[in-house]
Every structure is written in C-alpha cells, then in structure tokens.
C-alpha cells in the first residue's frame, strides 16, 4: 500500500514538472506558427505600400508601372475575362499533373522491377527534362492538330520528370535489411512492392509532386505563350500578351497576380497533402520537440 502511494506521489511530481514544459512547448509552437505566416504577410504588405508610394510620389504613368490599387481595380473590373482564362489554365495544369502522376509512378515501378528497363528508358526521360520547353513547344504545336492537346503535352513534359526521378529514388531507397526479411519469409515481388517499397517511396513521391505542381503551371503558361491562341478558350498567358499589345498594363499585372496566387495555392495544397499523409509516421512531418 505504501509503495503504491509512493509511486502515485512520484507520478504527481513528474506531472507537475511536465506541465510547465508542455505549456512552454505549446507557446513556442504557437509563436513559430505566427512567425511562419505573419512574417511573409507583413513583408508583402510593406512591399505593396512602398510600391504604391513610389508610383504616387514619382507620378509614374500606369502604362509603365501601375500602382497596386490600380492592379486590384483592373482585377475586379476584368474578372469575367480573367477568371475564364484562369479556369482554362488550371484545367491544363491539373490534367497534365494527373497524367504525369500516373505515367511517372507507373514507369518508376517498372524501373524498380527491371534494371534493364531503367537503363534503357531513363536517359530518354532525362532528355525530356533538359530540353527547354520553350524550344520544343512550337514544334509540338505544329505536329499536333489539337491546340489543347499540344498545350497538355507541353505541361506534361515539364511535370513528368520530377515525379519519375523522385519516385524511382524512393523505391530504390527501401531498407535492404527489410527487403532481405521479406525474401526470407517468401514474399513475392509485388508483396514487397506493396508493403515495403511503395510506403518507403511515399515521402520522395510527395516531394516530387510539390515540385511538379508548380512546373505543370509553368509548362502550361509557356505553351500558351507559344500557342498565342485567342478566343474563349484562351489561358492567362494569352491575356498577358493581349494586354501588352494594347498597353493595358494594369490588366497584365492582374493576370500575373493570378498566376502567382495560383502557384502559391498549388504549392500550399500539395504541402498540406504531404503533411496529412506523413504526419503520423515519417520524420519529416513529425512535430519536433523544442
């Protein structure tokens, strides 16, 4: 009975000591979150204020450098045109990203199962990566009858390699001791792939996905610049070209703002997805103690 009371007393002392430490860690975590989100917002706000003041003080014409307030007015006024172009660009971006995920992961699995296939095909994937998309986009637009399909191919080429390379690296980085254990217990190659190599490759794949998301948007924009198609099916790149030809610089800046915000939203969404998938088991997403 006395020993039970002593253990309870020890637990109570440890609990009393741990409580201030837990509170301190919670306060530090709250400060870190506030700094992570507050500092960029503060810097961006100060930059916009400085931009507005510079334009106002020097009386810079709007066709040379519009003020942030004028860009915002143009975004609101031309939202009907810009939003339709944004949807077109997003459609190409996400479809190209989806095709890159399917093709990149499938080919990476094939590479991990056969070194002959990897040695034979991987150099061609590298060729696609190192060839500037701005150089081959006009050729693709010539050889492919559908402009939409040509834009999709250009965006896919840019987004494909990061997913393929990162997933292949992840599949080849599975613990060799665990692979030997699977072989010892008679696991088939597909069982090893499903229960060992694919989970091991998940952080690498998600890292490549975050890169590929932004690259798919860049590929879509570059392809639209090369295509220069007009009409209802035009993306944001054409709106930028159109605004430049007409010296409607506030609309050009508004389109650029939409592209930037879209890229940030894609990165944050994929980062959140990565955190949700890895937070329970992978070191990169676990909460670190201070």
Domain ranges of the chain: 1-59, 68-278
**How far is it, in rounded angstroms, from Cα 205 to Cα 104?**
10
206, 194, 93: which is closest to 148 by C-alpha? 93
**How far is it, in rounded angstroms, from Cα 112 to Cα 71?**
50
Q: Which two tokens stand for residue 8?
A: 């309870």
- The full DSSP string for 212-269 is HHHHHHHHHHHHHHHH---STT--HHHHHHHHHHTT-HHHHHHHHHHHHHHHHHHHHH
Per-residue model confidence (pLDDT) at position 268: 92
Q: Which two tokens stand for residue 4?
A: 């039970």
Per-residue model confidence (pLDDT) at position 259: 93
**How far is it, in rounded angstroms, from Cα 157 to Cα 125?**
9
CA distances, 241 to each of 52, 62, 229, 236, 246 (Å): 24, 17, 10, 9, 9
Instruction: Match 């590479």 to its residue by tokens.
Output: 111
Residue 290 burial by CB count (10 A; 0-12/13-18/19+): exposed, middle or buried?
exposed
- From first to last of its 290 residues, the chain has per-residue pLDDT tens of 444 444 444 444 444 445 677 666 676 666 767 777 777 888 888 988 998 899 899 888 888 889 899 999 999 999 988 999 999 999 999 999 999 999 999 999 999 888 898 888 888 888 888 888 888 888 888 888 888 898 999 999 999 999 999 999 999 888 888 888 888 888 888 888 888 888 889 999 999 999 999 999 999 998 888 876 654 457 888 889 888 888 889 999 999 999 999 999 999 999 999 888 888 766 665 554 44
Phi–psi pair at 118, nearest 5 degrees = -65, -45
The pTM score is 0.81
Tally of helices (H runs) and strands (E runs) in the chain: 11, 0
Q: Which two tokens stand for residue 37?
A: 């989100």
Residue 71 near residue 257 (C-beta atoms within 8 A) = yes
Q: Which two tokens stand for residue 115?
A: 């070194």
Name the CATH superfamily for 68-278.
Answer: MetI-like (1.10.3720.10)
């Amino acid at each position: 009975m006395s020993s039970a009371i002593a253990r309870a007393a020890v637990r109570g002392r440890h609990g009393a000591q741990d409580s201030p430490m837990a509170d301190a860690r919670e306060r530090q975590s709250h400060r870190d979150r506030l700094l992570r989100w507050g500092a960029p917002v503060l810097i961006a706000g100060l930059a916009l204020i400085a931009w507005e003041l510079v334009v106002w003080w020097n009386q810079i014409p709007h066709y040379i450098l519009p003020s942030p307030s004028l860009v915002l007015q143009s975004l609101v006024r031309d939202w009907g045109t810009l939003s339709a172009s944004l949807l077109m660009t997003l459609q190409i971006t996400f479809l190209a990203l989806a095709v890159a995920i399917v093709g990149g992961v499938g080919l990476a699995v094939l590479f991990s199962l056969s070194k002959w296939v990897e040695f034979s095909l991987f150099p061609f994937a590298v060729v696609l990566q190192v060839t500037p998309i701005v150089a081959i986009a006009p050729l693709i637009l010539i050889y492919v009858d559908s402009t939409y399909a040509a834009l999709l191919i250009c965006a896919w080429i840019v987004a494909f390699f990061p997913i393929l390379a990162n997933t292949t690296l992840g599949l080849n980085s599975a613990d060799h001791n665990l692979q030997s254990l699977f072989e010892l217990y008679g696991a088939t190659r597909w069982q090893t792939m499903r229960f060992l190599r694919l989970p091991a490759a998940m952080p690498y794949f998600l890292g490549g996905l975050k890169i590929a998301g932004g690259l798919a948007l860049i590929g879509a924009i570059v392809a639209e610049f090369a295509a220069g198609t007009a009409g209802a099916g035009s993306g944001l790149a054409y709106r930028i070209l159109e605004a430049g030809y007409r010296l409607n610089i506030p609309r050009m800046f508004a389109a650029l703002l939409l592209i930037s915000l879209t890229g940030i939203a894609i990165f944050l969404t994929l980062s959140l997805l990565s955190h949700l998938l890895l937070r329970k088991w992978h070191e990169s997403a676990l909460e670190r103690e201070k």
